[in-house]
């Protein structure tokens, strides 16, 4: 309340509240992006656990005002999968190439 006690108009109050609460936390966004980049499948018991963490990080990034493109997210997921998923990765790339043509 001490932030808005001296303000006279509703507009001044609104502007002050926006500066206090609607700031995008850039540092938090960078931390989340780094965490997203550094995800490693071997650190999780199942691929479902990796996907759950991945989706959680993407949602947190959106809350920080960082919206990742879907194709970047797909490639990020594919890059995290190990050689045991190479069949799925190659199938995805093949389908992507054939759908373009």
Residues 2-34 pLDDT 10s: 777 888 898 888 888 877 776 667 788 889 999
pLDDT of residue 22: 65
Share the mean pLDDT of the chain: 82
Hey, is 56 helix, strand or coil? Answer: helix
- Rounded to whole angstroms, what are the CA distances from 80 to 9, 19, 68? 52, 38, 17
Residue 1 lies in a domain: no
Instruction: Show the domain range for 30.
Output: 10-100
Alpha carbon distance 38, 83 (integer Å): 17
Asked if 68 contacts 58 with a C-beta cutoff of 8 angstroms, the reply is yes
Residue 3 lies in a domain: no
Residue 21 lies in a domain: yes
pLDDT of residue 8: 86
Q: What is the pLDDT of residues 72-82, one digit of tens each?
A: 888 788 777 77
Does the pLDDT value for residue 93 go beyond 90?
no
Residue 47 lies in a domain: yes
- Structural domains counted in the chain: 1
Residue 4 lies in a domain: no
Residue 2 lies in a domain: no
């Amino acid at each position: 309340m001490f932030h808005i006690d001296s303000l006279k108009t509703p507009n001044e109050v609104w502007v002050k509240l926006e500066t206090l609460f609607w700031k995008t936390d850039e540092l938090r966004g960078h931390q989340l992006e780094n965490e997203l980049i550094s995800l490693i499948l071997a650190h999780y018991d199942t691929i479902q656990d990796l996907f759950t963490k991945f989706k959680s990080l993407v949602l947190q990034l959106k809350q920080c005002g960082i919206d990742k493109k879907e194709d970047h997210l797909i490639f990020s997921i594919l890059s995290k999968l190990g050689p045991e998923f190479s069949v799925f990765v190659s199938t995805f790339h093949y389908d992507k190439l054939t759908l373009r043509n």
